[in-house]
Amino acid sequence: MPVRHAVHSFQQGKGGCGKSVSSALLGMYKISKGELPLCIDTDPLNPTFSNYEKLNVRQLNIMEGDEINQRKLDTLIQWIDEAGDRDVIIDNGAPSFI
């Protein structure tokens, strides 16, 4: 079965290491090549990726209090599936907030 799209997920345990910037740069590169990636920001504390208006980033707060809401992960998977042949770029927050 051919690959429909790629999912790029930027993760790192430390905050401030460039996850959001890397996500934004990849998104801008894809747009410059005529592609329209689905961009998702799951960082509940510093949703920096969401600030890049031209990328139309969807924000998904996966936290409920101090716990990850597993239903929100279902939403994430649904969004990825609905992306069809578009690449998906996900900026994940540092896990220090958990």
Burial class (CB in 10 A: 0-12, 13-18, 19+), 91: buried
Start-end of H helices in the chain: 19-32, 70-82
pLDDT band at 93 (very low <50, low <70, confident <90, very high): confident
Write out the two tokens for 10: 């930027």
Distance (Å, whole) CA 75 – CA 78: 5
Whole-structure pTM value? 0.86
Q: Exposure pattern of 46-74 as b/e (b: 16+ CB <10 Å)?
A: bbbbbebeebebbebebbeeeeeeeeeee
pLDDT tens-digit map of 12-38: 766 667 789 999 999 999 999 999 999
pLDDT tens-digit map of 38-62: 999 998 888 899 999 999 999 998 8
